[in-house]
Amino acid sequence: MIAHLHGRVIERQVESQAESIVLEVAGVGYAVATSAATMRAIQHVGAEVSLWIHSHHTQDAGPALYGFLERDERGLFETLLGVQGVGPKVALAMLSGLPRAELTQAIAGADIARLMQIRGVGRKTAERLAVELRDKLVPFPVAPAAGAGRPGAGSSSGGDPGASPLPERLQEAQGALVALGYRLPELEPVIARMDPELPIADLIKQGLAALRRV
């Protein structure tokens, strides 16, 4: 299985519904379909690039390669493929239709209308994405919560200027949970019980587990 390729772009194709390159590696040209974000970064033929590769095989079409500049984008692509009705073309369309952070926020927040704006995503697929992937998107970046990063934002007192601000990691975890659709009043007692020394990913997982029991 091919997992990573480094080489020179010898052909670049941009069409209305498909984007791909031919990547020459040690004298061999590999046809690689890409996301819009990856293609924007590969600005011209002759560029030298490293791509994280997903190898996909079907009985009808045979093997196909999908390439991404960022490992996290490949990870999200493969997560999307785990949903019934989402094949590589639809997964690429989703990555190309919305910035990655907005896409993860739309899925985690069950924003069905937003997901249906993406070419190839109907209501059933959008609903499956929201139901099946909500808890699987914690490792991926989400859009920051409104007000995150401003002085006083994310305080445990809901904005009381006299309250002590949360530690930075708890602020980031709270912002991520707000972006996932939770409200500050239900978050505050959960965040208050968390250990600010834990990694942010663990804090988010703890928060999701606690909120599901509420």
Predicted pLDDT of residue 45: 94
Phi, psi of 157 (to 5 degrees): -100, 15
Predicted pLDDT of residue 104: 86
Q: How many residues in the chain?
A: 214
61-115 pLDDT, tens digit each: 678 999 999 998 999 999 999 888 899 989 999 998 888 888 888 888 788 888 9
* Cβ partners under 8 Å of residue 113, min gap 6: none
Domain check: are 62 and 17 in the same one?
Answer: yes
Identify the domain boundary among 136, 165, 185. 136
Using alpha carbons, select from 167, 171, 115, 123 the residue that is nearest to residue 148. 171
Predicted pLDDT of residue 28: 95
Identify the domain boundary among 136, 160, 179. 136
By the 10 Å C-beta count (0-12 exposed, 13-18 middle, 19+ buried), 108 is classed as: buried
Residue 151: domain span = 144-214
Domain check: are 209 and 154 in the same one?
Answer: yes
Domain check: are 17 and 81 in the same one?
Answer: no
Predicted pLDDT of residue 16: 56
> 171 with 154: CB under 8 angstroms?
yes
Q: What is the pLDDT along the chain (214 residues), one digit of tens a residue?
A: 789 999 999 999 887 567 899 999 999 999 999 988 899 899 889 999 999 999 988 767 678 999 999 998 999 999 999 888 899 989 999 998 888 888 888 888 788 888 999 888 988 888 888 888 876 765 454 444 444 444 344 444 444 444 457 788 888 888 777 766 777 778 888 888 888 888 877 788 888 878 775 5
What is the domain-level CATH number for residue 59? Answer: 2.40.50.140
Total domains, the chain: 3
Domain check: are 114 and 59 in the same one?
Answer: no
